[in-house]
Amino acid sequence: MIKNQAGQESLSSKDIIYYLLDRKKWIIAPTILVSLIILVVVLWLPNVYRSEVLLLPNNQGSQSLANGLGSQLGGLASLTGINLSGGGNEELNVALEVMKSRLFITNFIEKYELEALLFASTGWDSRSNTIIYDSKIFDKENNSWVEGAEKPTRQEMYKSFLIDNFGYSSNKEAGTYIISIRHYSPEVAKQILEMFVLELNLLMKKKAIESANLKLSYLSKAIQGESRGEMLEVLHQLTSQHVKRKMLAEIRADYIFTIIDPAVVAEKKFAPKRGAICILAFLVSLILFSLVQIVNYYIRQEK
């Protein structure tokens, strides 16, 4: 009984295979047609280029100052309410969150007036090295948004930038970070990336100087109101170290990140992966139309 059922199943599988081979023109023809349509569509998609920069956190200086304070002053410094440990790592963590924040990204886009470049462009003419804009929403001649066309909101700009333009990865073992920008123009991608890293360093530098000024102001008031010699020594040494920290921030252009491998103009496109898309479309179409014929086979068997 079992052998008979197995034979029927085997025979049924063979019948399906023979049926598919007999109907191969109804599988291959539509598969090729769909693949050709996908190919035409993919060929019309504009190229996207990616520029990358390799960064190393430049927090050794602030970390060494904190370590120096800790070793010199020990527990006495904690009496002032100032945390001396982990300054470098804390600044790095803040910088990593800042660069992905809505406030920083939208301020960056608006400061450099990148709205049209990022959200109204549809391609790049490599022969004339010019950006192609969507004429329905942006007037290239007058460099203005078309009347009636809605300029993207700050929230829309933020989401679109993170999804379509921004990339970020880290190598924990090496302690390095890669930031990338994608755009239709390889030169624009490079320029935006350079400005992005510059603005991030400038913002963190500004925050460090403001923080040092607040601490120095507090320490100055604390010194004036302190009469104990031991505490005065602590406060004076803290003041000296924060002056050094402030000076370090003021003289460093690359305050939070040092550029190890600078951004370059990409020579090869990053996307779309036309070959992979066409191969995937062919395989999916082949499977789909084969399934259609198998369903058709069982329907005929039922009849």
Domains of the chain: 23-44+272-303 (no CATH), 49-271 (3.30.1890.10)
Give 142-153 as a DSSP string.
TTEEPTTPPPPP
| Confidence at residue 183, expressed as pLDDT on a 0 to 100 scale | 98
Backbone angles phi, psi at 176, to 5 degrees: -110, 165
Q: 138 has which bridge partners?
A: 145
Helix, strand, coil % in the chain, rounded to nearest 5: 65, 15, 20
Please compute the mean of the pLDDT values over residues 161-173 and round it to a whole number: 96
Counts for the chain of helices (H) and strands (E), in that order: 10, 8
d(CA 237, CA 222): 13
Q: Per residue in 59-111, pLDDT tens?
A: 654 554 555 555 555 454 554 445 555 456 889 999 999 999 999 999 999 99
Q: Which residues lie closer than 8 Å to 149 by C-beta, 6 or more apart? A: 136, 137, 138
Q: What is the pTM of this model?
A: 0.82
Q: Per residue in 109-153, pLDDT tens?
A: 999 999 999 999 999 999 999 999 999 999 999 999 998 888 899
Cα dist. 260→13, 48, 175, 179 in Å? 61, 24, 12, 12
Cα dist. 270→48, 122, 183, 186, 189 in Å? 6, 16, 9, 10, 12
Is 284's pLDDT higher than 50?
yes
| Confidence at residue 6, expressed as pLDDT on a 0 to 100 scale | 47
